Chains A and B, each alone.
Chain A
Amino acid sequence: MRRLYAILVAAGLIYMLFVFLGTLPLYGKVDLSNRVSAHFLAKDVNSVDVKKWVEGDKQVPSREKIYGRKGFEDESANVVTSIVVNYRSFDTLGEVTVLFASAVGIGLVLGGMKRMGYGRKPNFILRVSTGILLPLIIMFGIYIFVHGHLTPGGGFPGGTVIAAAVLLLYLSNEEFVANMKTSKSLEGSMGSLYVIFGLAGLATGGAFLFNFLPNGVVGSLFSAGVVPLVYMTIGLKVGSELSGVVAEIHEEREG
């Protein structure tokens, strides 16, 4: 009987979602000029007259704006980064906090004292290749988040790659235990640093998370103001956080 109810509820939900899909505009038929993202892509948010824009006067960005080479209001070469860490940076602060909250929750629920073993000796190939791969993986992770404003990638993927290196250490060595104190302090200090960047923007520009550093030239490593700094803090924070989660999953309670 219970299963029947579950099937009925699920069928109702699926039917509802299918009906609702019909209200979405068809693929390729959307007028992109009336979406906020059109102006994110052209990076000309400041030049839009909001009053006319919301009343239906769509201001399509000019060709020079879309294909231009310099003088943007945000100079990150990766347009996704400019949306994620500049236009909607507050959401990213929220997402960083989501991860932080989950890591804290895992710590409170799982925390233990002793390293849990796998019960068998790691393979010889695994042990040797870990030594070769580890520096490469860490370097790759750091590369991803340092160049987050230039190439696809950023703090979240870069940090995850670094945490994968820690997981590899756990897999290849039964004795290995990550230093939780270091990872927690790195996680906490990097998280606070993001908020402090936001507060610095509040102090200098009058708005939380304001980009208070010079924009530079698009494409160079030191460009896009505060964006690369924020991505580096996110990368280190996510890396230490997920390493902490990996370590906590490998802990077991005594007895």
Chain B
Amino acid sequence: MISLLIAIPLLLAFISIIWRSLSKPLFFLASFTNIVILITSWFPNGVEIHAMGNWKPPFGINLVFDNASFYAALVVNAFFLLTSLLPGLVGNYGIPLMLLMAAANGFVLTGDLFNSFVFMEIITITAVTIASKKENFYNAFKYLILGGIAGSIYLLATIFAYASTGSLNMAHVSMAGISSSSLVAITTLYAIGLGVEAKLFPLNGWVSGVYGGNDLAPVILGTSVSFAALYMVGRLFGTVFHGNGAEVLYTLALITIVIGEVAALRQRNLLKTFAYSSVAQAGVVVAMLSKGTGTAMGLAYFHLTNDAVAKFVIFLVAGFLVYNYKNLNGVFKKHKVLGASFSIASFSLVGFPLFAGFQSKLRIIMEAFSMKDYLFPSVMLLATLIEVGYVVRWNVKLWFEEETQEKAETPVIASTLALILALVLITVFIKPDIFLGGAMKMGNALADTKDYIQGVLSVVKGGM
């Protein structure tokens, strides 16, 4: 069943190159079918595998379906479904979006290191194609070069892993004894390879240009693709390498948070501000993932889910505003629904009480204190202060300053979607279990290497 999550979008993408006009309805069909498939197999609570071509692991390629990959696939596909409801946004990009969906699903589900590299390649190429929308060629090219280098380094890491274990299967690599010197090499190379998509510090120079260049790229790359990339960080560093190399990630993540927030505060472009803010949030998530325990990882993904929902609303609204108004002063006086959802989402981003972000930030800080880590909470509180600065500034500018322009037509579907998601953010504050339950299951599944190995290879070895 789960191989269909990849096969259906791929098949429909190939079909829609013949009939181009069908690409938008087929994109909707693909994401809708995927969501239906996922709902019928709600939280497997165990490890199921699908061995491609009936070649048993570790020899063949296998897809792994456990609580972690289920929750990640659910979030990824949900954002694709939401995007497919906005035909104006999709435009000519139905085929790249379908391919991106297939690749993101494959990236999340695969249990094979080389296979994950192949899907990362597809993600990079389709993401670059999407980034070049609205003739944003210069930034797309920058992204292409960074993504290409990251892809080669990811491949190099896979080669090193194969050289020292003789296998590409994640479960087998995680149980094979790797010498500590090769472990350093492998984890460092994987950190660099994933760092570009996970927006870690020295490798995130592309983010502002790509997210700030058109309306489609931030909506899909900032939500689904970020989630898939950060899932892989958890899977590799949590499950496969048992927290080795986490110190490097932790340090980079703290630098990422500070640099991202400061850059967001200095930025005068609406899309770019929130692009930098999503860099900073990725830093928070990676810092939490590097702690390696099930609870910490679960909270990281809880925070990431809240952030992705908020970012979807923010980028949707911001993309509409930037491409319909020359001067953004006071535009929300004309678009009250869009304005309300934008404000709710941005307040959730900061973590004001009454919004979902409060629940995740509070829990993360408490968890960090309970682990006797005082540096990360203080960095995070500083980051929150900076966030208050730019979020309030933008809200004041968009709501209260003198308006000058004619009203553009209100996008009905977009404002409905934005409003619904904003209400979801409030509901999550009241009942955090909606996201927290799944995220916790995901974190625990990622931290439980033993279960993973047993599920994939049906063997357990003593210790880790």
Q: List A residues at the B interface (Cβ < 8 Å).
A: 16, 19-20, 22-25, 30, 34-36, 39-40, 45-46, 48, 50-51, 54-55, 86-91, 93-95, 97-98, 100-102, 104-105, 108-109, 184-185, 187-189, 191-192, 195-196, 198-199, 201-202, 205-211
Contact = CB atoms under 8 A, between A and B. Distances in A.
B18 A185 contact: yes
A6 to B, nearest CB: 13
A97 B52 contact: no
Given A36-B58, A91-B114, A192-B11, A109 B132 contact: yes
A210 B53 contact: yes
Interface centre among B53, B58, B121 (most CB of A within 10 A): B53
Interface in B180-235: 181-182, 184-185, 188-189
A209 B459 CA distance: 26
Contacts of A39: 59
Interface residues of B, number: 65
B163 A24 contact: yes
A210 B129 contact: no
Contact of A45 (B59, B61, B162): B59
Interface in B385-400: none
A207 B54 CA distance: 6
Contacts of A201: 53
Interface of B: 3-4, 7, 10-11, 13-18, 50-61, 92-93, 95-96, 99, 102-103, 106, 114-115, 118-119, 121-122, 125-126, 128-129, 132, 137, 160, 162-164, 166-169, 172, 175-176, 179, 181-182, 184-185, 188-189, 457-459, 461
B60 A87 contact: yes
Contact of A94 (B95, B106, B179, B184): B106
In the A-B complex, the 6 residue pairs with the closest CB atoms: A191-B14, A94-B118, A35-B166, A105-B129, A208-B3, A20-B185
Contacts of B99: 97, 100-101, 104
Given A24-B182, A35-B167, A45-B55, 11 more contacts: A25-B164, A36-B168, A50-B457, A102-B125, A185-B18, A188-B14, A195-B14, A201-B53, A207-B3, A207-B51, A211-B53
A183 B51 CA distance: 34
A105 B7 contact: no
A97 B15 CA distance: 13
A121 B96 CA distance: 38
Contacts of A25: 163-164
Nearest to B99: A101
B50 A208 contact: yes
Nearest to A25: B163
B53 A55 contact: no
Contacts of B129: 101, 104-105, 108-109
8 contacts: A23-B185, A36-B166, A39-B59, A45-B56, A45-B59, A50-B58, A105-B126, A207-B50
A91 B53 contact: no
Given A24-B163, A90-B115, A198-B7, A97 B103 contact: yes
Given A101-B126, A188-B17, A36 B55 contact: no
A97 B102 contact: yes
Contacts of B458: 50-51
B53 A50 contact: no
Nearest to B168: A36
Contacts of A100: 13-14, 17, 99
Nearest to A206: B54
Nearest to B51: A207
A89 B52 contact: yes
Contacts of B50: 207-208
B166 A192 contact: no
Contacts of B4: 202
Given A36-B59, A90-B61, A191-B14, A55 B106 contact: no
A94 B122 contact: yes
B4 to A, nearest CB: 8
B14 A50 contact: no
A244 to B, nearest CB: 10
B109 to A, nearest CB: 11
A210 B13 CA distance: 22
Contact of A54 (B15, B168, B457): B457
A24 B160 contact: yes
A175 B189 CA distance: 50
Contacts of B176: 54
Contact of A208 (B18, B52, B93, B132): B52
A91 B118 contact: yes
B54 A210 contact: yes
A192 B57 CA distance: 27
A87 B58 CA distance: 11
Contacts of A88: 60-61, 114
B5 to A, nearest CB: 11
Interface centre among B17, B128, B132 (most CB of A within 10 A): B17
Contacts of A191: 10, 13-14, 17
A101 B181 CA distance: 37
A45 B115 CA distance: 19
A208 B49 CA distance: 12
Nearest to A189: B18
A91 to B, nearest CB: 5
Contacts of B103: 94, 97
Nearest to B171: A54
Given A40-B59, A191-B14, A209 B106 contact: no
Given A35-B167, A104-B17, A195-B7, A205 B54 contact: yes
Contacts of A187: 14, 17
Contacts of B11: 192, 195-196, 199
Contacts of B166: 34-36
B459 A23 contact: no
A94 B126 CA distance: 13
Given A192-B11, A207-B50, A94 B119 contact: yes
A104 B96 contact: yes
